[in-house]
Amino acid sequence: METLDSVQWADRDLRGRELRGASLRGASLKRCRLDDADLRGADLWGANLAMASLRRADLRGARLSCASFAGADLRAARLGGAELFFCDLGGAHLACADFGRPRTTRHHVLARQIGCPSFADALGGSYLEASRMRAGLALLAIDAALDVSPDPEREIRALLGADDWRVFVFGAMAVARRAAASRELVALLRDRLSPRDVGAAAAAALLSAGHAPDALRELCPALAASADPGPYREAPRWSKLLRARLEHIRAWPRPDARPEPQPGR
């Protein structure tokens, strides 16, 4: 077992690092990049991982009591059997994190009924955030869902086919975030994008996601400026917010590509 107690590794790039069973008690790992790291059974008692990135990290059976994950990115992390007593998770991003037990909340049931179980956290934690144009939280959850989905195209089709326009908006954002979206998926989205359907709301969602597919880019300004909002009362408000925040939402970063494992320094 590797003993690294109280090590000072703040700001290190440890992506894909093999640390299974390591002792890191009291270690300083602030702002570390530990995406895809293997930390199964590791002892991180009292460690400081504030603002660290642990996307898709494997923490099953790890001892995390009294550790700080304040503001950390734990999306799609595997936490089954981890010890979490007095663990600080304030402000941590936990979308699609796997705690090793079935989840039966209302939005998880809804996601299974729609046919997009990987997007359950997006529909739950970020449902209203997206509809109120707070795109950041919704995008974090959508990117995590795309990470863990066994069949993203199928699940996005289910979102786009939903009757509830707010669920459809998540599908539109997922298409824009998925660089490898098929032509068939883009065509399905185009078919439903009209002022009489979701109109300005969907246009806002696409631009919020940034870098919409070329085939849809020209549609967004026209839909956002449409004077015919259709049956959705909130559409004019979406158009107004979209115009006011266009530069901000276009600047939202694309999701990181999965990196090659980096050796620890």
pLDDT at 152 over 70: yes
> Same domain for 111 and 57?
no
Which pLDDT does position 133 carry in this prediction? 42
What CA–CA distance (Å, rounded) separates 124 from 75? 15
Q: Are residues 81 and 207 in the same domain?
A: no
What residues pair up with 8 in beta bridges, in sequence order? 28
Is residue 30 located within the same domain as residue 128?
A: no
Q: How many domains, in total, are found in the chain? A: 2
Same-domain status, 144 and 222: yes
Residues 95, 72: one domain?
A: yes
Say how far apart CA 95 and CA 76 lie, in whole Å: 7
**What integer best gives the mean pLDDT of the chain?**
75
Q: Are 218 and 170 within one domain?
A: yes
Which residue, among 191, 219, 198, has the nearest Cα to 207 in the 3D structure?
Answer: 219
Which of 81, 101, 121 is the C-terminal boundary of a domain? 101
Q: Do 87 and 177 lie in a common domain? A: no
pLDDT in tens, 167-202: 877 887 787 777 676 778 877 777 776 544 445 555
Asked if the structure places residue 239 within a domain, the reply is yes
Residue 256 lies in a domain: no
Whether 132 shows a pLDDT value over 80: the answer reads no
- Rounded CA gap, 159 and 142, in Å? 12
* Residues 74 and 124 grouped into a single domain: no
pTM of the model: 0.70
Structural domain boundaries enclosing 3: 1-101
* 265: in domain: no
| Region 224-244 average pLDDT | 45
d(CA 200, CA 162): 17
pLDDT 10s digits, 18-58: 999 999 999 999 999 999 999 999 999 999 999 999 999 99
131 and 162 part of one domain: yes
